[in-house]
């Protein structure tokens, strides 16, 4: 349990690297058949789960003394007759690796912790079967076993998480023939753009039309060893952006690429609409809170991970805020719509939920109280951030899950809280 007193954090902070980019880099390196270098990787429990997965497939991963460089040597990768991968809490590792593992030609089982075993894999399972893989699972959830080869062909899949499509796009170049993917429903499109960025760097032959609804990927292609730098993570930065907004202070976040395809950078536009000012200087962005936030209606379909932090930001605003069109928030590490409504109520803030949205009745201040983290890293960091607009202490039952993506969160948060 942790108790956080009200404060008005300010100052300069540098956030860790992108989880999404680090995991994609690790998985591509594992299939590149050579030595790849990943500079400035994120070191967290989710990315270490990806490291374990890569090593379970036979690649070697080493880190520099200061963890600033990860080297992946897959030149001698010779998968055993069967492979079992514990993905921990990492849905990203699970969804991206499962299709890629079908190219290995041996049975690969992916499992994980209790939360991961509640993450649906049914649509991905059916798509992989249509593309020639043998696959079995536990009623649409991990543990799930896949065996290739991945032959290619045609499949149609509704992607309530973009990671389904990203996984198929990463695996399709390794298939025996061309893969055609129809995607009549797709949430979180910016994450697919992030995946395509890697395919472009690798020189992969593909064609995507109709706003990601149709994908054609040539088979019998290969990934190449690479040397890449991973930029700072907008998902992690979003908490510090919101702290400045709620506290009415200035916080500068370093190490971000203004043109990065990460979708969560759109939170800056939302905060601007709520009354903040945003200023860029090179790879640094400063958010200045106005001291008086206003509510609004925001579509979070492309940026579902921002729902927890925007929920507490909306609680600190005046007026009604609708965080809508985000049904996939219910199938993350926990049901984030229900969890945040419960937490806001515990903090003395009125909120209501619909099937795909959270509606917050902000009064300009958060009374405070005891919240539940639900073992969800983003909920825990959002609850801690709520202290920036709280009239009384904020208590969180367990803060340990921040290690999933942001082990240094509380250290950096406290460094800003100590600034005068």
d(CA 104, CA 288): 50
Would you put residue 416 in left (φ > 0), alpha (ψ -120 to 50) or beta?
Answer: alpha
d(CA 80, CA 309): 43
Query: Going along 90-205, which residue ranges are E strands?
Result: 108-111, 134-138, 141-147, 153-159, 179-186
Catalytic residue among 73, 260, 305, 376: 305
d(CA 259, CA 262): 9
Half-sphere exposure of 333 (CA within 13 A, CB side): 23
8 A C-beta contact, residue 69 and residue 25: no
Instruction: Classify 125 as helix, strand or coil.
Output: helix
8 A C-beta contact, residue 348 and residue 306: no
Residue 305 a catalytic site member: yes
d(CA 263, CA 170): 19
Give the catalytic positions in this structure.
305
């Amino acid at each position: 349990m942790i108790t956080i007193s009200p404060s008005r954090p300010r100052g300069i902070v540098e956030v860790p690297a992108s989880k999404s980019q680090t995991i994609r880099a690790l998985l591509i390196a594992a299939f590149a058949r050579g030595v790849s270098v990943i500079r400035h990787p994120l070191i967290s429990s989710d990315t270490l789960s990806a490291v374990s997965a890569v090593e379970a497939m036979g690649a070697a991963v080493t880190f520099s003394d200061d963890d600033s460089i990860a080297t992946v040597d897959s030149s001698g990768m010779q998968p055993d007759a069967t492979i079992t991968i514990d993905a921990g809490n990492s849905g990203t590792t699970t969804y991206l690796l499962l299709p890629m593992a079908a190219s290995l030609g041996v049975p690969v089982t992916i499992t994980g912790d209790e939360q991961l075993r509640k993450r649906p894999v049914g649509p991905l399972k059916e798509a992989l079967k249509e593309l020639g893989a043998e696959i079995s699972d536990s009623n649409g959830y991990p543990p799930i076993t896949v065996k290739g080869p991945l032959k290619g062909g045609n499949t149609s899949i509704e992607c309530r998480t973009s990671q389904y499509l990203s996984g198929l796009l990463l695996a399709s170049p390794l298939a025996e023939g061309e893969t055609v993917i129809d995607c009549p429903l797709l949430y979180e499109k910016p994450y697919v753009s992030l995946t395509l960025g890697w395919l472009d760097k690798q020189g992969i032959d593909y064609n995507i039309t109709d706003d990601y609804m149709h994908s054609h990927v040539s088979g019998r292609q290969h990934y190449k060893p690479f040397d890449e730098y991973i930029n700072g993570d907008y998902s992690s930065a979003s908490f510090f952006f919101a702290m400045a907004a709620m506290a009415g202070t200035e916080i500068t976040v370093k190490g971000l690429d203004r043109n990065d395809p990460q979708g969560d950078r759109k939170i800056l536009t939302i905060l601007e609409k709520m009354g903040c000012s945003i200023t860029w200087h090179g790879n640094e962005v400063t958010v200045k809170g106005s001291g008086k936030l206003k509510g609004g209606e925001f579509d979070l379909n492309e940026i579902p991970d921002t729902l927890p932090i925007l929920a507490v930001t909306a609680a600190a605003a005046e007026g009604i805020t609708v965080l809508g069109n985000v049904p996939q928030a219910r199938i993350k590490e926990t049901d984030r719509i229900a969890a945040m409504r419960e937490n806001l109520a515990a903090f003395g803030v009125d909120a209501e939920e619909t099937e795909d949205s959270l509606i917050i009745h902000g009064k300009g201040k958060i009374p405070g109280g005891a919240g539940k983290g639900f073992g969800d890293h983003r909920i825990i960091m959002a609850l801690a951030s709520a202290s920036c607009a709280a009239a009384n202490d904020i208590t969180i039952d367990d803060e340990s899950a921040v290690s999933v993506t942001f082990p240094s969160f509380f250290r950096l948060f406290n460094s800003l809280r100590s600034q005068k």
